C-alpha cells in the first residue's frame, strides 16, 4: 500500500492558526486577560476558592476557541470550505455593488440634523448619567463584565488612553451619526430601496423614543448602543443573496449582542415586517416567504446560541425554567404593556393608536389577499412585533424594566410608521409626522429637565457638604461612615412634564438616591469630599442601617437633618 505523503504545510497552517487565535483572544478580550491575571495570582497565592469561576470561564472560551479553529480550518484547508468562502465573498460584493451609496449622503445629513436638534439640550445639559459618574472619575472600562466585548474593544480607538476620559459631545455626535445611517438604511429596506423625506421623518422614533433617550444620555456608552441598532439592520442589505445574508446576519447579530443586547428584537421585527409585506401584496410565493423567514430564524438562533455558550459571561440574568416559560413570557409582556401605558401621555397614546389603526387599514386596503385574511394577519403582526420588540429579554425571569431596556418599543414604532407612510393617504402621513414631532419636543424638554435637575441637585449637595465640613473638620474624617435617607426630589420643571408624560420620571435620575451607589460616588468624589468611608453603599446590602439607631440630631435645616454619634452619620434629606 502506497504511503500518503505528509502535508507539512497544512500542519503549519493549523499551528499558526492556533497561535494566532490565542494571541487574538488574549489581546482583544479583556475578560480573558482578567482570567489569565487571576490564574497567575492563584498560582502565586493558591486562592483555591476562585477555581470554580475560572473553570467555567475557561471552559466556555476553550469550547469557543475549538469551534472557531475547526471552522477556520474547514474554510482554509478543505475544497468545499474554500468554495463556500469564495461564494460568500462574491455574494457580498454583488450586493454592495447594487447599492448606490451616494444616494444615502443627503438623507443621512437630513437625519443627522434632526437627531442633532433633538439631542441638543442633552449635550448642553452635560449630565453625568449613572455609569458616567464612575467612568469619568476612575477611568475604568469593564464593559466585558456584561459581555459587551465589541464595546470594550472599540473604546480603545474612541478613547485611545489607558483610562477613560470624558470627551463628550464627541461620543454623542458619533452616536447620532450611527443612528442617522441606521434610520436611512431602515427606510431603504422597508420602502423597497426608495428613500423619501416623509419616510425619514417616520423613522424618528428609532432614535428619539423616550426609552432610547436614556441610551443617548450616557456619555461613554451612547455610540455602542446606537451601533447595536445599526448592526441589527445591516444584514438586510444582503437579503437578495442567501449565503451572504446568513453570514452577515450571524456576524452582525453577534456584534449586536456584544454592544447592547436590549436591541435583540430589532432583527426579528424587520424580518417579520418584510415577510408580511411580501405576503400581503403577493410579491413572492408563500414558499419563498416561509423559506426566507426560516433563514432569518435559523440565523438568529445560531447567533444567539454562539453568544450564549461561547461569549456570554456568567452574569446576573436567568431565563425562566422551561416549565414556567410561557407564563413568564406572558407576565413580562403584561408588565411591558403596563409600563408603556403608564409612561406615555394621552397625546402619545392617541398618536400610537392612530398609527396602529392606519397600519391595519393600509394592509387591508392595499392587500391582494382576501380582505378578512389581511385584517386578521395585520392585527396578528402588530401584536407579534410588539411582543418581540422586547427581544431576548422576553424570556428573562429577572428582567429589570429600565427605560433603556425597552428601546425596542421605539424601533417597533419606527417600523410601523415607515410602513404606514409609504405610498398611503396624506392624513396618515400627518399622524405619523405628528407623532415624530411629539418625540422631538419631548427630547428637547428632557434635556432641559436634566440641566434643571442638575443645577438643583448641585445646590443641595453644596449645602450638605458645607454643613458636613463645618460639623466634622479634617481630623478623623476617614474613620466616619455616612448614610443617606430619601433623595433629592424632582424640580418643578420635571414634575410639570410628568403631569402628562410619566416617562420623564424614569429618565431623570434623582441625585443622592439612597438606592443608588453611583450618587454616593458623585457627591463624595466629584466634589472632592472623598475621605468618608463609603463601605455603606447600596451595592453592599450587609451594612448597618443607621436609620434604626438612636443617633443624636446635630443639625436640622430646611433641606436636611444630620444625625450622628461621632462616627456614624445619617443624612435625612427633606423634599
Q: How many angstroms separate the CA atoms of 193 and 202, rounded?
A: 16
The order of strands in the sheet holding 560-564 is 481-485, 568-573, 560-564, 552-556
Which string of b and e fits 190-214 if b means at least 16 CB within 10 Å? bbeeebeebbbbbbbbbbbbbbbbb
Distance of CA 289 to the CA centre of its chain: 30
Residue 48 pLDDT: 41
Q: What is the 3 state secondary structure string of 238-306?
A: HCCCHHHHHHHHHHHHHHHHCCCHHHCCHHHHHHHHHHHHHHHCCCCCHHHHHHHHHHHHHHHHHHHHH
Contact assessment for residue 92 and residue 238, using Cβ atoms and an 8 Å cutoff: yes
Q: Nearest Cα to 132, choosing from 167, 156, 92, 162?
A: 167
pLDDT digits (tens, 9 = 90+) for 465-496: 888 888 887 655 566 788 888 888 999 999 99
Between 290 and 425, the more confident residue is 290
pLDDT digits (tens, 9 = 90+) for 83-117: 877 888 888 898 888 888 899 999 999 999 999 99
Would you say residue 78 has pLDDT above 80? no
Contact assessment for residue 138 and residue 166, using Cβ atoms and an 8 Å cutoff: no
Q: How many angstroms separate the CA atoms of 332 and 265, rounded?
A: 14
Contact assessment for residue 203 and residue 180, using Cβ atoms and an 8 Å cutoff: no
* Segment 558-563 mean pLDDT: 91
Cell of 82: 474554500
Would you say residue 73 has pLDDT above 80? no
**Residue 226: which pLDDT band, with cuts at 50, 70 and 90?**
very high
* Segment 215-222 mean pLDDT: 93
Q: In 3-state terms, what secondary structure has residue 471?
A: helix
Q: How many angstroms separate the CA atoms of 13 and 210, rounded?
A: 51
Task: Give percent of the chain above pLDDT 70.
Answer: 82
Contact assessment for residue 392 and residue 304, using Cβ atoms and an 8 Å cutoff: yes
Contact assessment for residue 412 and residue 386, using Cβ atoms and an 8 Å cutoff: yes
Residue 397 pLDDT: 84
Q: Which DSSP string do the residues of 334-363 spell out, in sequence order?
A: HHHHHHHHHHS-HHHHHHHHHHHHHHHHHH
| Count of alpha carbons within 13 angstroms of residue 447, beta-carbon side | 23
Number of Cβ within a 10 Å radius of residue 75 = 16
Between 58 and 113, the more confident residue is 113
Minimum mean pLDDT among 68-82, 267-281, 521-535: which range?
Answer: 521-535
**Residue 35: which pLDDT band, with cuts at 50, 70 and 90?**
low
Q: How many angstroms separate the CA atoms of 302 and 246, rounded?
A: 10
Residue 398 pLDDT: 80
Residue 540 pLDDT: 45
Q: Indicate the pairing of strand 560-564 with strand 568-573.
A: antiparallel
Task: Look at the chain and count its residues.
Answer: 575
Between 417 and 58, the more confident residue is 417
Between 525 and 261, the more confident residue is 261
Residue 314 pLDDT: 60
Contact assessment for residue 561 and residue 555, using Cβ atoms and an 8 Å cutoff: yes
Q: How many angstroms separate the CA atoms of 236 and 249, rounded?
A: 8
* Segment 50-65 mean pLDDT: 54
* Segment 26-37 mean pLDDT: 52
Q: How many angstroms separate the CA atoms of 518 and 524, rounded?
A: 10
Minimum mean pLDDT among 260-269, 422-431, 521-530: which range?
Answer: 521-530
pLDDT digits (tens, 9 = 90+) for 424-458: 777 888 999 999 999 999 999 999 999 999 999 99
Instruction: Provide the total of helices (H) and of strands (E) in the chain, helices listed first.
Output: 23, 4
> Is the pTM for the entire model greater than 0.85?
yes
* Segment 6-12 mean pLDDT: 53
Would you say residue 542 has pLDDT above 70? no
| Count of alpha carbons within 13 angstroms of residue 380, beta-carbon side | 8
Residue 47 pLDDT: 46
Q: Indicate the pairing of strand 481-485 with strand 568-573.
A: parallel
Residue 62 pLDDT: 60
Element (H, E) at 69: helix 51-77
Q: What region does 285 belong to: left with phi over 0, alpha with psi -120 to 50, or beta?
A: beta
* Segment 305-320 mean pLDDT: 77
Q: What region does 450 belong to: left with phi over 0, alpha with psi -120 to 50, or beta?
A: alpha
Would you say residue 195 has pLDDT above 80? yes
* Segment 501-530 mean pLDDT: 79
**Residue 6: which pLDDT band, with cuts at 50, 70 and 90?**
very low
Give the chain's radius of gyration (CA, Å): 27
Q: How many angstroms separate the CA atoms of 510 and 49, rounded?
A: 39
Would you say residue 538 has pLDDT above 50? no
- Pseudo-torsion of CA 107, 109, 113, 119, nearest 10°? 100
Q: Indicate the pairing of strand 560-564 with strand 552-556.
A: antiparallel
Contact assessment for residue 181 and residue 104, using Cβ atoms and an 8 Å cutoff: yes
Cell of 380: 396578528
Which residue(s) pair with 485 in the sheet? 572
- Is the omega angle on the peptide bond into residue 169 within 30 degrees of 0, that is, cis? yes
Cell of 252: 452582525
Task: Give percent of the chain above pLDDT 90.
Answer: 47
* Segment 121-129 mean pLDDT: 92
Which residue(s) pair with 562 in the sheet? 555, 571
Q: How many angstroms separate the CA atoms of 222 and 216, rounded?
A: 5
Would you say residue 377 has pLDDT above 90? yes
* Segment 493-520 mean pLDDT: 85
Q: What is the mean pLDDT of the chain?
A: 83
Q: How many angstroms separate the CA atoms of 249 and 119, rounded?
A: 30
Would you say residue 79 has pLDDT above 90? no
Residue 51 pLDDT: 45
- End-to-end Cα spacing for the chain: 92
Q: How many angstroms separate the CA atoms of 477 and 429, rounded?
A: 63
Summarize the chain as % helix, strand, coil (round to 5): 70, 5, 25
Which residue(s) pair with 571 in the sheet? 484, 562
Residue 426 pLDDT: 79
Contact assessment for residue 390 and residue 383, using Cβ atoms and an 8 Å cutoff: no
Element (H, E) at 553: strand 552-556
Amino acid at each position: 500500500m502506497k504511503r500518503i505523503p505528509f502535508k507539512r504545510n497544512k500542519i503549519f497552517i493549523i499551528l499558526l492558526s492556533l497561535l494566532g487565535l490565542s494571541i487574538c483572544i488574549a489581546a482583544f478580550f479583556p475578560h480573558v486577560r482578567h482570567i489569565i491575571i487571576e490564574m497567575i495570582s492563584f498560582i502565586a497565592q493558591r486562592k483555591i476558592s476562585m477555581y470554580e469561576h475560572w473553570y467555567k470561564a475557561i471552559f466556555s472560551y476553550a469550547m469557543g476557541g475549538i469551534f472557531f479553529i475547526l471552522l477556520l480550518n474547514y474554510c482554509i484547508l478543505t475544497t468545499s470550505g474554500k468554495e463556500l468562502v469564495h461564494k460568500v465573498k462574491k455574494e457580498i460584493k454583488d450586493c454592495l455593488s447594487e447599492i448606490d451609496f451616494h444616494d444615502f449622503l443627503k438623507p443621512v445629513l437630513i437625519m443627522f440634523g434632526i437627531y442633532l436638534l433633538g439631542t441638543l439640550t442633552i449635550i448642553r445639559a452635560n449630565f453625568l448619567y449613572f455609569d458616567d459618574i464612575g467612568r469619568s472619575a476612575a477611568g475604568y472600562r469593564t464593559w466585558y463584565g456584561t459581555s459587551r466585548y465589541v464595546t470594550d474593544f472599540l473604546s480603545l480607538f474612541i478613547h485611545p488612553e489607558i483610562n477613560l476620559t470624558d470627551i463628550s459631545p464627541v461620543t454623542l455626535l458619533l452616536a447620532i451619526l450611527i443612528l442617522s445611517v441606521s434610520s436611512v438604511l431602515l427606510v431603504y429596506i422597508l420602502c423597497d430601496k426608495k428613500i423619501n423625506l416623509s419616510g425619514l421623518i417616520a423613522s424618528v422614533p428609532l432614535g428619539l423614543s423616550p426609552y432610547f433617550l436614556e441610551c443617548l444620555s450616557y456619555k461613554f456608552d451612547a455610540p455602542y448602543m446606537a451601533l447595536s441598532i445599526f448592526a441589527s439592520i445591516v444584514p438586510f442589505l444582503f437579503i437578495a443573496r442567501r449565503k451572504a445574508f446568513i453570514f452577515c446576519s450571524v456576524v452582525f447579530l453577534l456584534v449586536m449582542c456584544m454592544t447592547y443586547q436590549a436591541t435583540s428584537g430589532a432583527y426579528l421585527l424587520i424580518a417579520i415586517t418584510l415577510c408580511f409585506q411580501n405576503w400581503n401584496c403577493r410579491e413572492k410565493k408563500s414558499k419563498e416567504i416561509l423559506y426566507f423567514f426560516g433563514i432569518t430564524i435559523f440565523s438568529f438562533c445560531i447567533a444567539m446560541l454562539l453568544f450564549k455558550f461561547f461569549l456570554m459571561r456568567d452574569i446576573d440574568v436567568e431565563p425562566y425554567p422551561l416549565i414556567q416559560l410561557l407564563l413568564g413570557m406572558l407576565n413580562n409582556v403584561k408588565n411591558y404593556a403596563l409600563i408603556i401605558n403608564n409612561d406615555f401621555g394621552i397625546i402619545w397614546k392617541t398618536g400610537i393608536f392612530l398609527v396602529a389603526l392606519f397600519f391595519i387599514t393600509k394592509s387591508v386596503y392595499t392587500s391582494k389577499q382576501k380582505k378578512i385574511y389581511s385584517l386578521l394577519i395585520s392585527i396578528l403582526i402588530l401584536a407579534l412585533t410588539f411582543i418581540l420588540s422586547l427581544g431576548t429579554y422576553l424570556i428573562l425571569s429577572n428582567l429589570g424594566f429600565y427605560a433603556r431596556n425597552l428601546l425596542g418599543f421605539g424601533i417597533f414604532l419606527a417600523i410601523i410608521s415607515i410602513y404606514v407612510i409609504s405610498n398611503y393617504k396624506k392624513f396618515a402621513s400627518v399622524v405619523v409626522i405628528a407623532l415624530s414631532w411629539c418625540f422631538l419636543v419631548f427630547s428637547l424638554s428632557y434635556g432641559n429637565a436634566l440641566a434643571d435637575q442638575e443645577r438643583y441637585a448641585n445646590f443641595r449637595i453644596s449645602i450638605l457638604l458645607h454643613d458636613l465640613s463645618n460639623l466634622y473638620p479634617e481630623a478623623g474624617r476617614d474613620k466616619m461612615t455616612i448614610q443617606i435617607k430619601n433623595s433629592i426630589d424632582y424640580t418643578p420643571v420635571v414634575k410639570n412634564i410628568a403631569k402628562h408624560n410619566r416617562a420623564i420620571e424614569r429618565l431623570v435620575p434623582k441625585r443622592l438616591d439612597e438606592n443608588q451607589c453611583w450618587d454616593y460616588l458623585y457627591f463624595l468624589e466629584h466634589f472632592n469630599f472623598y475621605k468618608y468611608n463609603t463601605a455603606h453603599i447600596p451595592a453592599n446590602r450587609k451594612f448597618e442601617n443607621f436609620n434604626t439607631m438612636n443617633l443624636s440630631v446635630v443639625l436640622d435645616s430646611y433641606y436636611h437633618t444630620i444625625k450622628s454619634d461621632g462616627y456614624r452619620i445619617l443624612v435625612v434629606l427633606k423634599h
